[in-house]
Chains A and B, each alone.
Chain A
Amino acid sequence: MSQQPVLEARGLGKAWRTYPSGWARAKEVLSLGAVQTHDPFWALRNIDVNLPPGGALGVVGANGAGKSTLLKLFAGATPPTEGALRVKGRVAAMLELGAGFHPDLSGRENALTTGVLLGCTRQEMRRKTEEILEFAGVRAAADTPLRTWSSGMAMRLGFATALAVQPDLMILDEVLAVGDLDFQKRCVDAVSDFREGGGSLVLVSHSLYDVRQICDQALWLEGGECSGQGDPARVTGLYSAWYGDRAGQGETVRDAATNPGRDRPRITQVKVHGTRHEGAMDTLESGENLSLEIHWENPKAEPVQLGVTFTRQDRTLVAASGTQLDGLIVRGSRGVARLDLPCFPLLAGRFTPVVHMLDAKGIHRHHEKPTERDLLVTAGTRELGLVRIPSFWSFETEGQGDAIPDGVNQSPAEAKV
């Protein structure tokens, strides 16, 4: 197999046209473009992609980030405004399932014509039609016009057809989420088979799980620009951290922290150890050691409790540690407490650590002080969820079955756990 990339983009950019008025548009059209009256709206800029044969690129990003524009460029449905784009081989783009289907033709005829439009020969498609109908689970309705079908059936047929034409590059926009759970599973299996057969894939999905599981590189778009690119686990981790951050805009845990009264017990300083200072955040790789150094004062030397909470930006309390929970109590007029959190178990996300000082019973909150910067946890693994749970597998299998290291899907990070 040649190692020439299936898809190569350099400095790719796309500007859509916006017109200040109807007259401006009329001028541009009727002058056949000699008079350019439109204002460019940059949907995408400075995108570099290199997808080798058999590779899979996952594109993530919020709505309006430019994902669909990027796929349109890849599919050749619209020319780039700047930059260079090279696509090699047969491309099957499903920017929307059931694209190009005609409502008056039957399912069988639609599968045939779409396959031919995607570059298969008629004989090839005739052979494959049964297979397509079988995969889509629409055999019973195969000869009725498509307009009598449900939308789900049409989408399944579209997916099955695109798979059957065996393209060199398949472009899927948010299509793994169609159909019922059973069909979704078959889709994911079929996409895996397709990749094992050497096919390349570009996938847009809001399911970060799919991107992590299926793709071997990821691209995070934000406002038309690349915000992160590379290893899917890292990029999706960054994206979900950023997204959680954005979702939680408004009142944050930070703002809600209380101030101490005069002469009341207070936290004077919180130092974070074990992290790297990056931008406005302290970053930490999941599984590394974290410790907090808490300086406190207590003029009246009344017994108090200390606690630390980790709150996600959407105000979900994710984890907490407290002296009271461990059966301790803090006495004295001033001091330094150190909280060690070995093998920090939280997975990718942005968290606000808040130190709490409470009365002896843990009811009244004397003072709450967040750390100076939020904590950004990155996870280089494919693990899912908020926390890493300690886990061990053991098997009792019958017959030929056995669970041995796969060696294919296992990344070094997974082996570590």
Chain B
Amino acid sequence: MLLVVYGFLFTTLLSMKLPGASDGAGWSAYLLVGTLAWSSLAECATRGASSLLEGRELVRKLAYPIELLPLVPSLSSTLLLGSGAVVVIVLGGVSGYLPWNLAALALPVVMLLHLGLALGLAWSLAGLNAGLRDVGQILPLLLTALMLATPVFWVASPEVIPGIEPWLPYVEASPFTHLLNAWRSVLCAGRPEVPCPPLGEALSSLVPYSLGALVLGRIVLARLEPLILDEI
């Protein structure tokens, strides 16, 4: 539903087209995959941030290991995104809007990398929010700002947005840019006009971010664990 609105807004009203494309189909695919992946990650961040507080009964009374609670939203959001991706692949291929491509076989790989990033994010946010409730309060604002700062609705290329060059290093440094690139490389390979790095490059550049997020999340949670167990 949201995608229909976005598609209408960007292709018809704003008549945006990808460079080298005759119609809006490539742009729609670009938007579709971007929003799917982003909304899954954002949902995981929101639910992950509150996961320890929601499961506090388990932690307090059954001494449940705290690192398992953020795993629930991470796994469920990633699996949901994965099944969404399967639907996109099947329907895209059947309708011809998104022709089948062998790159789709890398879906499990990108899901695994996505899970790493999502879980790392959920661990960090869950720990911080359990110690400091304000984190959960400002998170929606932060996520909206991040969404706009990440190439979800725009393309990080001077061909599409003239004058973006000074900002490109920052965009390139963002783990979320690499996440969306990876998803688009896997799902949009049937439409060469969709701008994304080659599959191998897109996936391998996401690996350090994914692992880094996991390590960071684990450190944050471990450092805050004594405090959380006292306060939750």
Contacts and interface: CB of A to CB of B under 8 A. Distances in A.
Interface string A59-101: 0000000000000100111110000000000000101100110
A26 interface: yes
A389 interface: no
B158 to A, nearest CB: 37
Nearest to A17: B230
B57 A30 contact: no
B57 A77 contact: no
Interface string A329-372: 00000000000000000000000000000000000000000000
A169 to B, nearest CB: 13
Contacts of B60: 72, 77, 95, 99
B159 interface: no
Interface residues of A, number: 23
B62 A100 contact: yes
A117 B64 contact: yes
B106 interface: no
A189 to B, nearest CB: 25
Most A CB contacts (10 A, CB to CB) among B60, B61, B226 go to B61
Contacts of B227: 17, 28-29, 33
B63 A76 contact: yes
A117 B231 CA distance: 22
Contact of A25 (B61, B64, B132, B223): B132
Given A33-B226, A100-B62, A25 B131 contact: yes
B143 interface: no
Interface residues on B, range: 20 to 34
A79 B230 CA distance: 8
A214 to B, nearest CB: 22
A361 B163 CA distance: 113
Given A29-B227, A77-B229, A78-B230, A99 B128 contact: no
Contact of A100 (B57, B134, B219): B57
Contacts of A17: 227, 230-231
A17 B59 CA distance: 18
23 contacts: A16-B230, A17-B231, A32-B223, A33-B223, A33-B226, A72-B60, A75-B63, A77-B61, A77-B62, A77-B63, A77-B229, A78-B229, A93-B62, A93-B63, A95-B60, A99-B60, A99-B61, A99-B62, A100-B57, A117-B58, A117-B62, A117-B64, A118-B62
